[in-house]
Amino acid sequence: MDLYYTAGSAPCRAVLLVAAALDIQLNLKELNLQASEHMTPEFLKLNPQHTVPTLVDDGFSLWESRSISRYLIRKYNNKKLYPEDIKTKALIDQRLDFDMGTLYPRFGNFIYPQIFAGKPADESLFQKFEEALDFFNSFLKGHKYAVGDTLTLADLSLVATVSTIDAVGINLESYPRVQQWFELVKSTAPGYEKANEKGLQKFKALVGHSIKQKTEL
């Protein structure tokens, strides 16, 4: 299976974490988005939305990190990361949707205009982002992982986002359950260092040394 990806991308790193947890090897094809390698006719045939990550499995093309992750889980019939119990699975899906629809976009809306467009920090966007972290902090009450007391697919997606939040210097001390969960997942997710930290370092290098200054309100 080919995975078209960008190492610094949180969604791409989420898929790499899933692959590591499943102990499978993907044929990694890194795209340089700044050089518009995702806009070539060849790649547009695979993914008209020209986004990463994109998985190609024997001619079958799929994009969106959480869809790719669920596909891999089902392909390799892993019931630990995505249990069959309908309520547990529903909660995992809710956490994935929360990551995709609330936490990651609110973080991106706040931080990326500062990093990539040089704009000042927006207090209202920061408050919306803080609210999302508060939500996640409340989700973790009473259990160790995002859903219950075992590592699931939800954790692998969320930790890619939270590690990116941490990488730009945003302090998690105000969210103690998130901070504790983050440390736990870093130490228990299979292959975490190679799958996530390696790309995270590239993300830090991309955004440069001005992160801390730009995130200050």
Predicted pLDDT at 213: 43
Q: Does domain 86-215 have CATH number 1.20.1250.20?
A: no
Predicted pLDDT at 208: 67
| 196 against 212, higher pLDDT | 196
What class has domain 2-75? alpha beta
Predicted pLDDT at 91: 98
Contacts 24+ apart (CB under 8 A), 102-111: 102/132, 102/135, 103/132, 103/133, 103/135, 103/136, 103/158, 103/161, 104/10, 104/11, 104/161, 106/131, 106/132, 107/132, 107/161, 107/164, 107/165, 111/168, 111/170, 111/215
Residue 27 and residue 39 in contact, taking contact as beta carbons nearer than 8 Å: no
Quick one: average pLDDT of 11-36? Answer: 96
Quick one: average pLDDT of 14-43? Answer: 96
Location of each CATH 3.40.30.10 domain in the chain: 2-75
Predicted pLDDT at 209: 47
Location of each CATH 1.20.1050.10 domain in the chain: 86-215
Which amino acids are annotated catalytic?
A: 9
Predicted pLDDT at 145: 98
Which pLDDT band, with edges at 50, 70 and 90, does 216 fall under?
Answer: very low
Predicted pLDDT at 105: 98
pLDDT in tens, 123-139: 999 999 999 999 999 99
Which pLDDT band, with edges at 50, 70 and 90, does 102 fall under?
Answer: very high
Strand partners, 56: 2, 61
Predicted pLDDT at 95: 98
